Amino acid sequence: MEAAAEIKDHYRSDFERLRDGLPGGRIPWMKRRREAALARFAAQGFPTVRDEAWKYTDTGVIARRTFTTASPPARAALARGDLAAFTIPGLDCHRLVFVDGRIAPELCDLDALPAGAAVGGLAAALEGDAAGVEKLLGRLADDDGNGFAALNTAFMTDGVCLRLADGVALERPVHVLHLSTADTDGTAVHPRNLVALGRGSRAVLIETYAGLREAAGLTNVQSEVLLGEGAELEHYKLQQESAKTFHIADTGVHVPAGARYRAHGIDAGGRLVRNGVRVRIDGAGAECELNGLYVLAGRQHVDNHTVIDHLKPDGVSREFFKGVLEGHARSVFSGKVIVHPDAQHTDARQTNHNLLLSENAEADTRPQLEIYADDVKCAHGATVGQLDPDALYYLQSRAIDEDAARSLLIYAFANDVIGRLSLEPVRSYLERTLTERLLHGRRVEDLI
Amino acid sequence: MLSIRNLQASVDGKPILKGLSLEIGKGEVHAIMGPNGSGKSTLAHILAGRDGYQVTGGEVIYRGKDLLDMPTEERAREGVFLAFQYPVEIPGVSNIYLLKAALNAVRKHRGEGELDAMDFLKLVKERMKLVEMDEQFLYRPVNEGFSGGEKKRNEILQMAVLQPSLGILDETDSGLDIDALRVVANGVNALRGPERSLMVVTHYQRLLDYIVPDHVHVLAGGRIVKSGDRSLALELERRGYGWIEDELRATGS
A306 lies in some domain? no
- Amino acid in the structure at residue B184: V
Give phi and psi for A343, each to the nearest 5: -85, 55
A356 lies in some domain? no
A331 lies in some domain? no
CB within 8 Å: B101 and A400? yes
What is the average per-residue pLDDT within A410-433? 90
Nearest to A161 by CA among A92, A109, A218, A223: A223
User: Using CA atoms, how far apart are residues A96 and A119, in angstroms rounded to an integer?
Assistant: 9
- Rounded to a whole number, what is the distance in Å from the CA of A439 to chain B's nearest CA? 15
A269 and A401 together in one domain: no
A352 lies in some domain? no
User: Using CA atoms, how far apart are residues B217 and A120, in angstroms rounded to an integer?
Assistant: 78
Give the CATH class of B2-251.
Answer: alpha beta
Give phi and psi for A288, each to the nearest 5: -140, 150
Q: How confident is the model at residue A1 (pLDDT cuts 50, 70, 90)?
A: very low
CB within 8 Å: B88 and A391? yes
pLDDT digits (tens, 9 = 90+) for B181-205: 999 999 999 999 999 999 999 988 8
User: Using CA atoms, how far apart are residues B43 and B64, in angstroms rounded to an integer?
Assistant: 19
Q: Which of B88, B116, B155 to mutate to test the interface with A (most CBs of A within 10 A)?
A: B88
For the range A54-58, what are the long-range contacts, defined as Cβ-Cβ under 8 Å and sequence gap of 24 or more? A54/A146, A56/A303, A56/A332, A56/A334, A56/A364, A57/A272, A57/A274, A57/A301, A57/A303, A57/A332
A340 lies in some domain? no
User: Given this model, what pLDDT does residue A265 score?
Assistant: 97
A32 lies in some domain? yes
Nearest to A180 by CA among A273, A97, A122: A97
CB B97 within 8 Å of CB A411: no
Q: Can you tell me the ipTM of this complex? A: 0.96
User: Using CA atoms, how far apart are residues A392 and A398, in angstroms rounded to an integer?
Assistant: 10
CB within 8 Å: A396 and B71? yes
Name the domain boundary from A282, A302, A332: A282
Instruction: Supply the range of the domain harboring residue A118.
Output: 5-282
Percent of chain A with pLDDT over 90: 84
Q: Is A360 helix (H, G, I), strand (E, B) or coil?
A: coil
A274 and A396 together in one domain: no
Domain boundaries, chain B: 2-251
- Rounded to a whole number, what is the distance in Å from the CA of B79 to chain A's nearest CA? 9
**Within an 8 Å CB–CB cutoff, is residue B102 touching chain A?**
yes
**Within an 8 Å CB–CB cutoff, is residue A445 touching chain B?**
no
Nearest to A334 by CA among A314, A307, A354: A307
Q: Decide if pLDDT at A439 tops 80.
A: no
User: Using CA atoms, how far apart are residues A267 and A272, in angstroms rounded to an integer?
Assistant: 11
**Within chain B, which residues score under 70 in pLDDT?**
252-253
Q: How confident is the model at residue A15 (pLDDT cuts 50, 70, 90)?
A: very high
User: Given this model, what pLDDT does residue B16 score?
Assistant: 94
Q: How many contiguous H segments (helices) and E segments (strands) does chain B have?
A: 8, 12
Angle between the A147-155 and A5-18 helix axes, to the nearest 10 degrees?
Answer: 20
Of the candidates A394, A399, A404, the beta carbon closest to that of B106 is on: A399
User: Using CA atoms, how far apart are residues B125 and A96, in angstroms rounded to an integer?
Assistant: 47
For chain A, what is the domain count? Answer: 2
Q: Which helix (H) or strand (E) holds B20?
A: strand B14-24
Of the candidates B71, B109, B158, the beta carbon closest to that of A398 is on: B158
CB within 8 Å: B101 and A413? no
User: Using CA atoms, how far apart are residues A242 and A181, in angstroms rounded to an integer?
Assistant: 11
CB A120 within 8 Å of CB A161: yes
Name the domain boundary from A237, A257, A282: A282
Strands (E), A36-81: 68-69
pLDDT digits (tens, 9 = 90+) for A76-130: 678 899 999 999 999 999 999 999 999 999 999 999 899 999 999 999 999 999 9
Nearest to B212 by CA among B192, B227, B237: B192
User: Using CA atoms, how far apart are residues B17 and B39, in angstroms rounded to an integer?
Assistant: 6
pLDDT digits (tens, 9 = 90+) for A330-386: 999 999 999 999 999 999 999 999 999 999 999 999 999 999 999 999 999 999 999
> What residues of B are in contact with residue A414 (Cβ under 8 Å)?
92
Q: Could you say which residues from 60 to 99 on chain B have a Cβ atom under 8 Å away from some Cβ of chain A?
A: 71-73, 75-77, 81-82, 84, 87-88, 90-93, 97-98
Cα distances from A100 to residues A13, A73, A187, A225, B130, in angstroms, run 20, 8, 9, 22, 62
User: Given this model, what pLDDT does residue A74 score?
Assistant: 66
What is the average per-residue pLDDT within A411-417? 88
Q: Is A40 helix (H, G, I), strand (E, B) or coil?
A: helix
Percent of chain A with pLDDT over 70: 97
CB within 8 Å: B162 and A398? yes
* B39 Ramachandran zone, left/alpha/beta (phi>0; psi -120 to 50): left
A302 lies in some domain? no
> What residues of A are in contact with residue B109 (Cβ under 8 Å)?
399
pLDDT digits (tens, 9 = 90+) for B61-85: 999 999 999 999 999 999 999 999 9
**Within an 8 Å CB–CB cutoff, is residue B233 touching chain A?**
no
Nearest to A190 by CA among A144, A143, A158, A224: A158
If you average pLDDT over every residue of chain A, what do you get? Answer: 93
Q: Decide if pLDDT at A3 tops 70.
A: no
> Which residues have CB under 8 Å from B62's CB, separation 6+?
B1, B2, B3, B75, B78, B80, B166
- Amino acid in the structure at residue A193: N
Q: Decide if pLDDT at A28 tops 90.
A: yes
Nearest to A220 by CA among A240, A247, A245, A238: A247
A48 and A194 together in one domain: yes
CB within 8 Å: B100 and A448? yes
Q: Which helix (H) or strand (E) holds B83?
A: strand B80-83
Helices (DSSP H) in B49-174: which residue ranges?
Answer: 72-77, 95-109, 117-130, 148-162
A194 lies in some domain? yes
Strand partners, A49: none
